[in-house]
Amino acid sequence: MKVNFKYLLTISLVTALGGLLFGFDISVISGTIPFLQDFFELNEAMKGWVVSSALIGCILGASYSGRLGDKFGRKKILMAVSVLFGISAIGSGLANSIPTFITYRIIGGIAVGGASVLAPMYIAEVSPAHLRGRMVSLNQLTIVVGISMAYFSNYFLLAIGENAWRWMFAAEAVPSLFFFFALFIVPESPRWLVAKNDENKAHEVLKRVAGTDFANFELSEIKESLSGSGKRGTIREVFKKKYSLILFLGIFLAVFQQWSGINVIFFYAPDIFAKANLGVDAALFQTTLIGVMNIVFTILAMRVIDKMGRKKLMLIGAAGMTICYIIIGYLFQIGRTGDWMLLTFIIITPAFFAFGLGPTVWVVLSEIFPNKIRGAAMSVATFSLWIACYILTLTFPILVELFNSAITFWIYGIICVIGFAVIYKFLPETKGISLEKLEKMLVKE
C-alpha cells in the first residue's frame, strides 16, 4: 500500500487547526487572570467561575457536535466551529461586564467542545491503520501549539498595559479565520459518506489517500460495519450492553485525562507561579516554558505512538505525573515555593502529560467506537471529559483555599495512581488495527 502521505498530512493538519484553536482558547485565560481580577474585582470563587465558564460551552459543544457531525457532515460542523471561535475572540476582548464576558467565553467553549469531538474523529476516519496514531496525534500537537501560542502572545502583549487582556483574547480571531478558509480544501469523511450512501465519493477520498486497493478494501469493511438496521447510532444505542466495555473505557479515559490535574497547570500556571513568589512578568515567562515542553514531548510521542503503542505511553505518563505531584506537594508543604526545584517540576509535569495522556487519550477515543455509533459515542465521552474539566477548574482555587496547595497536588497524584491501575488492567492495545477490526474485537454481541 502506497500512502499519499503529503495529501493525508495536509488534510489532517488543516482539520487539526481545530485543535490549535482549542488549545489557544482554553489557555489564553491563564495570562489574563491578574487583569480580570482587577477589572472585574473578582474574589477566589468568582475567579474560578470566570476561568471555568468557557467549559460550560465545551460541555454543550461536546454534547451536540458528534450528532450534528453525523447529520450534516464533519466538515460543515467544523466550519461552523471556526466561526464561533472568531465571535468569541472579538466578543471576549470587547466585554465590559462579567455577564457579557462569560457569554462570549461560553460561545468559545461551544467551539472548543465541537473541535474536540470532530477533529480527532475525522482524522481517524481518513487515516490508514498503521498511521492512525501519528495522524490523530497531530490534533494533540496542534492543541499544545495553540496553548504555546496563547502563552507567548500573552507574554508579548503584556507590554500594552491594563488593556492587554483585551488583545490577548482578540488575537484568536486571526487563526479562526484561517481555519475557516483552509477547511475548503478538506474532503468529507469517507465513513460519513458511506453512511449517507455516497460510496463513489467515499471511494475517491480513500483512493486519493492510499490507492485503489486500499480504497476497495476499506470501503468493503466500512459497508460491512454499517450493515443492518439503521446507519447512524443514537445516544440510546450507545448505552446498549454490547458497548458497555468501550463506553466505560471511553468515559474513564476522558475523565482521567482531566482529573489527572493537568489543566490546573495549563489554566492557572501564572497563578501557581505567583504563589511561588514570582511577579506577573516572570510568571508569564515561566508559563511559556510549559508550552515549549508540551510541544517537544508531544512530537516525541507522535514519533513512537505507532511503535510503542497507546497503552505503554499512557502508563509512562500517569506514573511520571504521579511522581511530579508528590514532589510538588512536598515542596509546597515545606515552604520551598520560590526556588528552581518547584518551578522545574511544575514544568516537567506537562511533559509527562504530553508524552502520555495528552495524545493517546484522543487517539484511543477516536479508535474504539464502532462506525455506527462513533459520532454519538464520541459526544458522550467528550461530554464526560468537559464535565470533568469544568469540575477540576472550578474546584482548584477552592481546594487550595480550603486545604492548601500541597494537599491539592497530592489529591491529583492519587487520581493518577488510580488511572494507572485501570489502564493497566482494562485497556487493550489498539495500534495497527483497522477501525472495523477493532469493532469486532471490542464489541461483544
Is the pLDDT reported for residue 5 higher than 80? yes
Residue 54 has pLDDT above 70, yes or no: yes
- Looking at the predicted structure, is the pLDDT value of residue 350 above 80? yes
Q: Quote the cell numbers at residue 97.
A: 461586564
Mean pLDDT of 347-356: 92
Is residue 288 within 8 A of residue 158, CB to CB? The reply is: no
Q: Which domain holds residue 185?
A: 5-442
- Which residue from 441, 232, 215, 407 is spatially nearest to 330, judged by alpha carbons? 407
Helix (H) or strand (E) holding 356, with range, is none
Q: On the CB side of 42, how many CA atoms lie within 13 Å of its CA?
A: 20
pLDDT in tens, 78-129: 999 999 999 999 999 999 999 999 999 999 999 999 999 999 999 999 999 8
| CATH at 375 | 1.20.1250.20
**Cell numbers describing residue 228:** 443492518
Query: What single letter denotes the amino acid at residue 413?
Result: G
Spatial CB neighbours of 314, under 8 Å, sequence gap ≥ 6: 356, 357, 360, 361, 423, 427
Q: Which three cell numbers stand for residue 95?
A: 466585554
| pLDDT (mean) for 256-271 | 78
- Residue 295 CA to residue 27 CA, distance in Å, equals 14
C-alpha cell at 217: 478494501
Predicted local distance difference test score (pLDDT) of residue 229: 47
Per-residue pLDDT, averaged over 332-359, amounts to: 86
Domain count, the chain: 1
pTM for the full predicted model: 0.81
Assess contact for 333 and 327: CB atoms under 8 A.
no
Please state the separation of Cα 414 from the chain's center in Å: 22
Look at 297 and 225; give whichever has higher pLDDT: 297
The C-alpha angle with vertex 391 and arms to 389 and 396, in degrees rounded to 5, equals 95
Whether residue 12 is predicted with pLDDT greater than 90 in this model: the reply is yes
Contact 227, 196 (CB under 8 A): no
Report the pLDDT value the prediction gives residue 183, as an integer from 0 to 100.
96
pLDDT at res. 266: 66
Distance CA 326, CA 343 (A): 14
Average pLDDT along the chain: 88
